[in-house]
């Protein structure tokens, strides 16, 4: 019989300080090095009991569990909204949890989501109200206990903290939990302890960890017992290429014992493979598995809970997020894992964008963000962007140009594939920060819609008026050519004309000035104009004012969506024009009942 380390998941809203708390406990600086400043993968660190004793000092001497457990195994989870499935995975793995709440921000959507996960799995937890050092007027004492630090604060600051803690008590009450500040908890079985802390200065961390060990002692002692021959169960965090080892997997072993030469089952796209473990490597204590690099040591076997790197043949296509299980005679492990594959298959539609990501968790996260944005998804896969993806993207773009999009989250694009992309109509959004990808996409869609709208409005014929300058009729007809001046608006070839009585005066064929053909002319310009289907002296006279003949449906669009963009004199011309039209047809341009 062995006692394993309790698994402690740290959950909470984005930026409330989960990674910083673990950094404080480990003495590391991971939070400041994360892409985009957010956690996007599950992290895992083993903290030996000696380190915990060093932090807590005599406070934990009373706890017998401190002599039996080897340490605490912390799991860091992402707080960003998109990572629900990783939070769930982190929550499901946990024996205990710390729910972090920024004391200045209070409860946020992912705080509630985390609470629901804890409720669902009935995980005992502690609430840490973090960032007390940012309370107005707070005077920090580095590494102090909360009790000591609180005592030295001004009464108004103490009051402020009390108020904020009570807000948290209120929110927890709404969620169905009784709670109290930790030093006032009378019954740990029915009340959740709230520990005010600063992950930055370390204030309160002593009490937080002591409370955690208290919970472990109360609830877990039997749950932490491990039979030496129980086959290991775990979760794959990441699949990585390592020099000298080939493809390896990083995994959390949450149950049983894992040994070299064990046969394990793992998930690959659409199937389950089995392979034999060649070697097991363990990060040195206090090293986060995501960050460990060379700080591993080779071991023959490992007992849960632990984070390990595993080298074995055939790991290339293993999916991050896959379950890991040692084969045994009693259970049909493969069948169990196949069932789980069904659960993680991502729903796709007939049309939509393509998504590529590095791990199951990140794929689920980006799919969930896109679904919230109502972006249809045609396919969602794990792996680098391939030639095939570009071909599929091109097909998508030909069907609907908004669908010709590939999201590449944390994956690479081969230079050859990049060349293919450049020659295609496919738009690539790539990066390693999830919200950046969808933000860039939203900006792209917005610009695209604006360009479409501009093209649509450009095609609308707008008001204009010209004046046929006396003595400047150069040709009677076919086409009529005369000198004109623009009195208002912008005039383009192709526009039809009418005179002040509403009679049609042909269509503008071309406009010229000093032998140069013009595509548009505006107010004040004098040019030679050729007019098709009009006879000078019959359809119009020199000295006449002619109006652009706006089609009725164009006028309606203009009136509805574009009026604020017209100038004073264009509006005046529009009024004159409408009056001319309504002399013949009083309802011209008026909206029908159903428009
Ligand atoms: P996600 O993993 O993205 O959900 O965020 P997180 O909860 O891990 O937050 P993280 O530890 O990355 O901290 C976010 C920011 O808050 C960083 O700039 C930290 O330096 C800062 N921060 C965290 N804890 C404290 C604290 O106790 N006091 C102060 N002043 N800043 C803190
Ligand atoms: Mg984090």
**Measured between alpha carbons, how far apart are the two ends of the chain, in Å?**
79
233-342 belongs to which CATH class? mainly beta
Better-scored residue on pLDDT, 517 or 79 = 517
In this structure, which ligand is nearest to the CA of 433? 1
What average pLDDT does the segment 428-447 reach? Answer: 90
Superfamily of domain 353-456, CATH level 4: Translation initiation factor IF- 2, domain 3 (3.40.50.10050)
* pLDDT tens digits for range 9-22: 999 999 999 999 99
Q: Is the pLDDT of residue 424 over 70?
A: yes
Identify the residue whose tokens are 């792209």: 444
Please check the confidence at residue 346 and state whether its pLDDT lies above 70.
no
What is the CA(222)–ligand 1 centre distance, in A? 34
pLDDT top residue among 388 and 458: 388
- Per-residue pLDDT band for 433 (boundaries 50, 70, 90) equals confident
Site of tokens 């045994």:
328
Distances (CA, A) of 269 to 275, 310, 312, 397, 518: 16, 19, 18, 26, 61
Confidence of residue 211 (pLDDT cuts 50, 70, 90): very high
In whole numbers, what is the pLDDT of the chain averaged over residues?
89
Task: Tell me which H or E stretch contains 528.
Answer: strand 526-532
Distance (Å, rounded) from C-alpha 14 to C-alpha 18? Answer: 8
Burial of 53 (0-12, 13-18, 19+ CB in 10 A): middle
For residue 328, what pLDDT band results from cuts at 50, 70 and 90?
Answer: confident
Is the model more confident about 181 or about 292? 181
pLDDT at 343: 57
pLDDT of 32-76, one tens digit each? 777 777 777 777 888 888 888 888 877 777 777 767 788 898 988
Ligand 1 neighbours (beta carbon < 6 A): 12, 14-20, 31, 38-39, 78-80, 130-131, 133-134, 198-200
CB-based contact 237:44 (threshold 8 Å): yes
The tens digit of pLDDT for each residue in 439-469 reads: 899 999 999 999 988 888 888 999 999 999 9
- Best residue among 22, 26, 31 to mutate for probing ligand 1, ranked by most atoms within 8 Å of CB: 31
How confident is the model at residue 382, as a pLDDT? Answer: 79
Choose between 577 and 434: higher pLDDT: 577
pLDDT at 593 over 70: no
| CA geometry: angle 209, 212, 213, nearest 5 deg | 90
268-292 per-position pLDDT tens digit: 877 899 999 999 998 877 777 776 5
Interval between CA 129 and ligand 2 midpoint (Å): 16
CA-closest candidate to residue 252, choices 124, 97, 122, 74: 74
Atom of ligand 1 nearest to the CA of 201: 27
Six token digits for residue 202: 């370390």
Whether CATH 2.40.50.140 fits 465-584 = no
Tell me the average pLDDT across 497-504: 94
Nearest CA to ligand 1 atom 12: 31
CA of 29 relative to ligand 2 center, distance in Å: 11
Query: For the residues 309-316, what does the mean pLDDT come to?
Result: 93
**Atom nearest to 198 CA in ligand 1:** 27
In this chain, the answer to whether the domains covering 233-342 and 353-456 adopt an identical fold is no
Q: What is the pLDDT of residue 344?
A: 55
User: 405-409 and 427-431 as β-strands: parallel, antiparallel, unpaired?
Assistant: parallel
- Among 9, 11, 13, 15, which is best to mutate for testing ligand 1, by the most ligand atoms less than 8 A from CB? 15
Ligand 2 midpoint to CA 445 (Å) = 30
CA of 568 to the centre of ligand 2 (A): 56
Please give the distance, rounded to the nearest whole angstrom, from the Cα atom of residue 207 to the centre of ligand 1: 19
Distance 17 CA to ligand 1 centre (A): 3
* 75 CA → ligand 2 middle, Å: 10
Written as six digits, the tokens of 188 are 């740990």
Q: Which of 178-187, 337-346, 440-449, 466-475 has the lowest mean pLDDT?
A: 337-346
Domain spans of the chain, in order of start: 2-226, 233-342, 353-456, 465-584
> Which residue out of 13, 16, 17 has the highest number of ligand 1 atoms within 8 Å of its CB and is therefore the one to mutate?
17
The DSSP call for residue 66 is H
How is residue 47 written in tokens?
């903290």
Question: How confident is the model at residue 20, as a pLDDT?
Answer: 95
Between the CA of residue 60 and those of 57, 146, 364, what are the distances in Å? 7, 15, 40
Q: What confidence category does residue 121 fall into, taking pLDDT thresholds of 50, 70 and 90? A: confident
Q: Compute the average pLDDT of residues 392-399.
A: 94
Residue nearest to atom 14 of ligand 1 (CA): 15
CB 65 within 8 A of CB 221: yes
CA distance 121 to 517: 76
Contacts (Cβ under 8 Å, ≥6 apart) of 222: none
- 27-36, 115-124, 424-433, 531-540: least confidently modelled range: 27-36
Work out which ligand 1 atom sits closest to the CA atom of 20.
11
Best CATH choice for the domain 2-226 from the list 3.40.50.150, 3.10.150.10, 3.40.50.300, 3.90.1150.10: 3.40.50.300
Three-state SS letters, 278-314: CEEEEECCCCCHHHCCCCEEEECEEECCEEEEEECCC
The answer to whether the pTM exceeds 0.85 is no
Per-residue confidence (pLDDT) for residue 421, from 0 to 100: 96
User: Residues in the chain, how many?
Assistant: 595
pLDDT in tens, 354-367: 999 877 777 877 88
State the DSSP code for 558.
Answer: I
pLDDT at 481: 96
Per-residue pLDDT reduced to its tens digit, 526-552: 999 999 999 999 999 999 999 999 999
DSSP letters along 312-328, please?
A: -TT-TTPPTT-EEEE--
């Amino acid at each position: 019989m062995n006692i394993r380390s309790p698994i402690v998941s740290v959950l909470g809203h984005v930026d409330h300080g989960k990674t910083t708390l673990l950094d404080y406990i480990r003495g590391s600086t991971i939070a400041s090095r994360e892409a985009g400043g957010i956690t996007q993968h599950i992290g895992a660190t083993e903290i030996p009991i000696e380190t915990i004793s060093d932090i807590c000092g005599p406070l934990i001497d009373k706890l017998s569990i401190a002599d039996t457990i080897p340490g605490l195994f912390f799991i860091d989870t992402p707080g960003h909204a998109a990572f629900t499935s990783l939070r769930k995975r982190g929550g499901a793995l946990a024996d205990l949890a710390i729910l972090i709440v920024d004391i200045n921000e209070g409860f946020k959507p992912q705080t509630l989501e985390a609470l629901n996960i804890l409720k669902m799995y009935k995980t005992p937890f502690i609430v840490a109200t973090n960032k007390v050092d940012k309370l107005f007027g707070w005077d920090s004492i580095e590494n102090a206990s909360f009790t000591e630090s609180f005592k030295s604060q001004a009464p108004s600051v103490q009051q402020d903290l009390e108020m904020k803690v009570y807000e948290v008590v209120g929110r927890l009450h709404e969620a169905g939990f009784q709670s109290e500040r930790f030093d006032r908890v009378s019954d740990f079985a029915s009340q959740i302890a709230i520990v005010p802390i600063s992950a930055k200065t370390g204030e309160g961390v002593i009490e937080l960890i002591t409370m955690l060990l208290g919970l472990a002692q109360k609830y877990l002692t039997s749950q932490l017992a491990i039979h030496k021959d129980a086959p290991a169960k775990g979760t794959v965090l990441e699949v990585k290429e390592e020099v000298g080892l080939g493809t390896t997997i990083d995994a959390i072993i949450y149950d049983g014992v894992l040994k070299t030469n064990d046969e394990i089952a793992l998930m690959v796209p659409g199937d389950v493979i089995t392979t034999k473990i060649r070697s097991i490597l363990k990060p040195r204590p206090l090293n986060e598995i995501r960050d460990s690099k060379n700080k591993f040591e080779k071991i023959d076997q490992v007992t849960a809970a632990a984070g390990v790197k595993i080298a074995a043949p055939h790991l290339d296509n293993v999916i991050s997020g896959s379950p890991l299980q040692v084969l045994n005679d009693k259970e049909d492990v493969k069948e169990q894992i196949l069932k789980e594959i069904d659960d993680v298959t991502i729903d796709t539609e007939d049309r939509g964008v393509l998504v590529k990501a590095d791990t199951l968790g990140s794929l689920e996260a980006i799919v969930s963000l896109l679904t919230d944005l109502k972006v249809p998804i045609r396919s969602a896969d794990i792996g680098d962007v391939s030639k095939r993806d570009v071909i599929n993207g091109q097909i998508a773009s030909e069907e609907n140009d908004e669908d010709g999009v590939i999201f590449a989250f944390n994956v690479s694009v081969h230079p050859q594939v990049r060349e293919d992309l450049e020659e295609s109509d496919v738009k690539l959004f790539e990066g390693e920060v999830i919200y950046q990808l969808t933000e860039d996409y939203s900006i792209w869609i917005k610009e695209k819609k604006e360009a479409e709208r501009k093209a649509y409005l450009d095609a609308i014929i707008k008001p204009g008026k010209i004046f046929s300058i006396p003595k400047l009729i150069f040709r009677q007809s076919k086409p009529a050519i005369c000198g004109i001046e623009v009195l208002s608006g912008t005039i383009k070839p192709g526009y039809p004309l009418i005179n002040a009585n509403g009679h049609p005066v042909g269509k503008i064929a071309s406009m010229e000035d000093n032998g140069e053909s013009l595509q548009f002319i505006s107010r004040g310009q004098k040019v030679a104009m050729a007019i098709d289907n009009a006879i000078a002296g019959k359809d119009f006279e020199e000295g006449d004012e002619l109006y652009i003949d706006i089609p009725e449906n164009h006028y309606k669009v203009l009136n509805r969506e574009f009026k604020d963009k017209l100038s004073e004199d264009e509006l005046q011309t529009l009024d004159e024009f409408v009056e001319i039209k309504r002399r013949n047809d009083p309802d011209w341009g008026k909206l029908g009942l159903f428009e």
